Chains A and B, each alone.
Chain A
Amino acid sequence: MTITENNTVDNGVNVEALLGAREMLSGAPAAAQFTFSATNEWVNGTHSRSTVSEFFGLGDDQAHRQPYSVDTDHPGIFASEDNGPTPPEMVLMGLAGCLTAGVASVAQNRGIQLRSVKSTVEGALDVAGILGIDSDVRNGFGGIRVRFEIDADATRDEIQAVVAQSQKRSAVFDVVANPTAIVVEVV
């Protein structure tokens, strides 16, 4: 039986809606097929602008409430204008956003009231890879470390379990931790 959660717990996550969607989609595998997409346009130098607006899911075209754009660039020490985060930093931001969304949802589902959730994501990157200095060094992060500081009505073990479950259900964690086939075409 589903345990009825304490109604005073409110992390702003509509768990009933999420559980309802899960119930509905487990009987309709086709509706669970989503396609997310972003467009990107070069501005100048290493500066470009990415935009998300529409995506596909539940068997139909969907749209964000409004288009969202992010500028990416490289910092001044690489002789760039630093008009925004670097693309690898965007990956770290995506990972943090995804894990934190998971923490809030899992905590809500477990009846844990959150007061504050802060995290720091560090990616160690040896630029000898991307600069072509050493072919044994990979281009991407050699490792990523996430540190959560969470204030909540729960024991340390319960909080750790929420964070662990969030990793198990995180799209970006999976994208970063596991290989993904990428096809790049020029049209």
Chain B
Amino acid sequence: MNPTRTTDVVVIGGGQAGLAMSQCLTSRSIDHVVLERGDTANSWRTERWDSLRLLTPNWLARLPGWSYQGDDPDGYMSAVEVATYLDAYRISIGTPIRTGVEVTRITSSGGRHVVETDDGPWSARAVVVATGACSNPHVPSIAADMPDHIEHVTPIGYRNPSQLGEGGVLVVGASASGLQIADELGRSGLDVTLAVGDHVRLPRMYRGMDIHWWMDAVGQLDERYDEVDDLDRARRLPSLQLIGSPERRDLDLTTVAANGVALAGRLVGRNGQSAQFSGSFANMCTSADLKERRLLDRLDEYATSHGLDAELSEATRPAPTGSVPPLLEADLRSIDTIVWATGFRPTYPWLDSQLLDHKGRLVHDGGVLPVPGLYALGLPFMRRRKSSFLDGVGPDATELADHLVSYLAHSIARSHT
């Protein structure tokens, strides 16, 4: 085992957040190392399904000192292309990265943090946890109640329809992952039921422009964590019902239903051989339609107040979600696979449990942990709405790097007095 090595900052995770922080630290001449359990951009490389593309267009992939230079700025990168993009970023900024290193424990005392790994310990004056928001799929406890013959799959284990048998599939969750997977399975001819809870519906294009162009333009993505009414709710907001596809198509409940996917309410229980779904489906759809309408109203107001109405195409609104009566029950004997697209919950088994709340979430104020010198980066709505997006982690990294540099300077000053 290696002896303890010393550096100023250990960054845990070599994805977009870890690399952005590395760039910020290098440009501030801070000695650091990035520890990555796999290869650079590991999740993008090994834990994403084949057809997945980013929900945001290529030009919305700005990182500190890096941006998309390809010939398709309005396209959507595949997961492999994201990994390639981040790899090129890593090389350009010369990140001091150690790959294949698993962190096993972090202990803090007297202003120093010891990061134990399967490759020996590191001692640092600050640690940035940049392990990502989407590496640990959350599977609700109801999964344990399901019959034994059912195969369970999560979005990080799912690759393509051929991996599943010919039996029926229940997809639980209708945000980006669940809806995309249900759509793909339905198109492949499988018998698919989609359990729908709270969701956020948006058109891919509005008045001729990508929805993310709009959200960037009106400043929706820049909304700050200390400005929103209910931060906890904002952090739990489900991902947008969108798909990045060359044809820029819409993906919502109406389109998947048209492809033969049966819609049901939220999965809430099992009664004998039946899966039971909530009767709240209609309200979930009404709420999503209302929220979509509110956002589009806001976009129209922006267009008018900025004199863009003449340039933009006419405003045509998506039709309200159709009122096909949803399923309240499904026969589990005809379901062979359940895809749990029920979100992600990062886990931190290597952190002191005092740093976590009663639900296992990191306690932090905009990425600053209560123990001086500990930081987090890349979590949903960490400092702004786009914090967990490829394009959004940069501003957070810059602000946290400034905080970190000032912390290091002050702790040096203190140790010299």
Please name all residues of chain A whose beta carbon is closer than 8 Å to the beta carbon of B232 when the two chains form the complex: 26
Please name all residues of chain A whose beta carbon is closer than 8 Å to the beta carbon of B271 when the two chains form the complex: 179
Q: Considering the chains assembled together, what is the distance between the CA atoms of A174 and B280 in angstroms?
A: 8
Cβ < 8 Å to B, chain A residues 118-143: none
B227–A1 CB distance below 8 A: yes
B358–A29 CB distance below 8 A: yes
A4 → chain B, closest Cβ, in Å?
Answer: 12
Please name all residues of chain A whose beta carbon is closer than 8 Å to the beta carbon of B269 when the two chains form the complex: 178-179
12 contacts between A and B (CB under 8 A): A2-B229, A157-B290, A157-B293, A161-B287, A161-B291, A164-B283, A164-B290, A165-B287, A174-B280, A176-B279, A178-B276, A179-B268
Q: Does A148 contact B (CB under 8 A)?
A: no
Q: Does A177 contact B (CB under 8 A)?
A: yes
Minimum CB distance partner of B287 in chain A: A164
Minimum CB distance partner of B358 in chain A: A29
B290–A160 CB distance below 8 A: yes
B 192-215 to A, binary, CB cutoff 8 A, 1 in contact else 0:
000000100000000000000000
A 146-170 to B, binary, CB cutoff 8 A, 1 in contact else 0:
0000000000010011001101100
Minimum CB distance partner of B291 in chain A: A161
B268, B290, B294, B358: the one within 8 Å of A178 (CB): B268
Contact count band on B: 20 to 34
B286–A168 CB distance below 8 A: no
Q: Does A186 contact B (CB under 8 A)?
A: no
B249 → chain A, closest Cβ, in Å?
Answer: 27
Q: Considering the chains assembled together, what is the distance between the CA atoms of A168 and B276 in angstroms?
A: 19
Q: Does B278 contact A (CB under 8 A)?
A: yes
How many A-B residue pairs have C-beta atoms within 8 angstroms? Tell me.
Answer: 45
Q: Considering the chains assembled together, what is the distance between the CA atoms of A177 and B326 in angstroms?
A: 13
Task: Name A residues whose Cβ lies closer than 8 Å to a Cβ of B.
Answer: 1-3, 26, 29, 144, 157, 160-161, 164-165, 167-168, 173-174, 176-179
B226, B268, B283, B293: the one within 8 Å of A168 (CB): B283
Contacts A29-B358, A164-B286 given: A173-B276 contact, CB under 8 Å?
no
B276–A179 CB distance below 8 A: yes
Minimum CB distance partner of A161 in chain B: B290
Interface of A is mostly: helix
A3–B229 CB distance below 8 A: yes
A144, A161, A177: the one within 8 Å of B278 (CB): A177
Q: Considering the chains assembled together, what is the distance between the CA atoms of A141 and B227 in angstroms?
A: 44
Q: Considering the chains assembled together, what is the distance between the CA atoms of A26 and B229 in angstroms?
A: 16
Inter-chain pairs besides A157-B290, A179-B269, 4 sampled, C-beta below 8 Å: A160-B290, A164-B283, A177-B279, A179-B271
Minimum CB distance partner of B268 in chain A: A178
Q: Considering the chains assembled together, what is the distance between the CA atoms of A186 and B394 in angstroms?
A: 63
Contacts A157-B293, A164-B287 given: A177-B227 contact, CB under 8 Å?
no
Please name all residues of chain A whose beta carbon is closer than 8 Å to the beta carbon of B229 when the two chains form the complex: 1-3
B278–A178 CB distance below 8 A: yes
Q: Considering the chains assembled together, what is the distance between the CA atoms of A178 and B198 in angstroms?
A: 15
Q: Considering the chains assembled together, what is the distance between the CA atoms of A176 and B269 in angstroms?
A: 14
Q: Considering the chains assembled together, what is the distance between the CA atoms of A173 and B276 in angstroms?
A: 16
Minimum CB distance partner of A173 in chain B: B280
Interface hub of B227, B283, B291 (most chain A Cβ within 10 A): B283
A143 → chain B, closest Cβ, in Å?
Answer: 8
Q: Considering the chains assembled together, what is the distance between the CA atoms of A164 and B321 in angstroms?
A: 15
Q: Considering the chains assembled together, what is the distance between the CA atoms of A173 and B279 in angstroms?
A: 9
Q: Considering the chains assembled together, what is the distance between the CA atoms of A85 and B232 in angstroms?
A: 42
Interface hub of B226, B265, B278, B280 (most chain A Cβ within 10 A): B280
